[in-house]
Amino acid sequence: MSPKAALLEEYTRVARALAAPARLSILEQLAQGECGVEALAKKTRLTFANCSQHLQHLRRAGLVTSRREGKAVIYQLSDSKTLELMDLLRIIAERNLAQVEHILRGLTGEDDAPEPIDRAELAARLAQGSVTVLDVRPWDEYAAGHIPGARNVTLAALDEILPSLAPDAEIVAYCRGPYCVYAHQAVAALRAQGLNARRLAGGLPEWRKDGRPVVEAER
């Protein structure tokens, strides 16, 4: 095999590792923070054995690394470039696949959904105290790390906090990152109530990757 053919074979190892929805779901979870196999299986609704098998594919492709902690094996993303690769997949799909646009439009419920706010602008608004930030991930992910000042609320509990939101407040929702749709759904629900809401470009992993502050919740 020629050197070029050998290189291409290794590059396709990475591509093959990404070619399964379950593996993208695992990577999305690991972007929130390191995690054991049992917790990953529960989060992604996979069996323990199936989750372990997918993790081995990702590990052989260099996308995740692992370490032992007692009897448990803890996994994490290999580095921030993995997160960038995940986001590039999203960008290419959104630009070139009509079905992706159709699905996202269905989530927002409107043709003229507002553009997401970028992370630098959100940081400036937070410093001014002029924005309400909602973290719409599950509690355990919020507790492990969230944007300072963000309130945690799941989609199911969104109606419960509506009375506490000022009618003229600027609201920004965020979730897990490239593949998460919670923020899209939260913004659609808030805008249906006449509130000024939009989502953050990216999610907690991208915010952290920028070197911006992240805090843990008191348990």
Fold of 109-209: Oxidized Rhodanese; domain 1 (3.40.250)
For the full predicted model, state whether its pTM sits above 0.85. Answer: yes
Per-residue pLDDT of the chain (219 residues; tens, 9 = 90+): 899 999 999 999 999 999 999 999 999 999 999 999 999 999 999 999 999 999 999 999 999 999 999 989 999 999 999 999 999 999 999 999 999 988 888 887 766 678 899 999 999 999 999 999 999 999 999 999 999 999 999 999 999 999 999 888 899 999 999 899 999 999 999 999 999 999 999 999 999 999 999 999 875
Classify domain 3-78 at the CATH class level. Answer: mainly alpha
Q: Yes or no: say if 176 and 154 are a contact pair by the CB < 8 Å rule.
A: no
* Spatial strand order in the sheet of 151-152: 151-152, 132-135, 170-174, 196-199
Contacts of 72 (CB under 8 A, 6+ apart): 36, 37, 38
Predicted local distance difference test score (pLDDT) of residue 110: 66
Residue range(s) of every CATH 1.10.10.10 domain in the chain: 3-78
User: Is position 175 annotated as part of the catalytic site?
Assistant: yes
Catalytic residue among 35, 51, 175, 180: 175
Tell me how far apart the alpha carbons of residues 193 and 210 are, in angstroms, rounded to a whole number. 32
Residue range(s) of every CATH 3.40.250.10 domain in the chain: 109-209
